[in-house]
Amino acid sequence: MGDVSYRPLIEDMTWSYSRLNSFESCPYAWYLRYILEEKEEPMFYASYGSFIHRLIERYYSGDLPKEEMPTAFLLGFSSEVEGERPPQSTVVKYINAGREYLENFEPFPFEKRGVEEEIHFDVNGANFVAFVDFIGERDGKLAVIDNKSRELKPRSGRKTPTLKDQELDDMLRQLYLYAHAVKQKYGELPSLLCFNCFKNRQFIEEPFDQKAYEEALDWAGRTIETISAEEDFRPYIDYFHCRYLCGYHRDCCYAQGG
List of residues contacting ligand SF4 (CB under 6 A): 26, 28-29, 235, 237, 241-242, 246, 248-249, 252, 254-255
Sign of the CA dihedral with 46 first, then 52, 56, and 58 last: positive
Pairing of strands 202-207, 141-148: unpaired
CA dihedral 65, 88, 39, 235 (to 10 degrees): 120
Q: Rounded to the nearest 5 degrees, what angle is found at the Cα of 116, between the Cα atoms of 213 and 67?
A: 120
DSSP symbols for 33-59: IIIS-PPPPP-HHHHHHHHHHHHHHHH
State in angstroms the smallest separation of the CB of 246 from ligand SF4. 3
Q: What are phi and psi of 247, to 5 degrees?
A: -75, 5
The SS3 call for residue 115 is: strand
For the chain, percent helix, then strand, then coil, each to nearest 5?
45, 20, 35
State in angstroms the smallest separation of the CB of 40 from ligand SF4. 9
State in angstroms the smallest separation of the CB of 252 from ligand SF4. 3
Smaller CB distance to ligand SF4: residue 53 or 249?
249
Smaller CB distance to ligand SF4: residue 99 or 241?
241
Smaller CB distance to ligand SF4: residue 136 or 235?
235
Smaller CB distance to ligand SF4: residue 29 or 56?
29
State in angstroms the smallest separation of the CB of 12 from ligand SF4. 23
Smaller CB distance to ligand SF4: residue 142 or 255?
255
State in angstroms the smallest separation of the CB of 10 from ligand SF4. 18
- Residues 138, 110 contacting (CB under 8 angstroms): yes
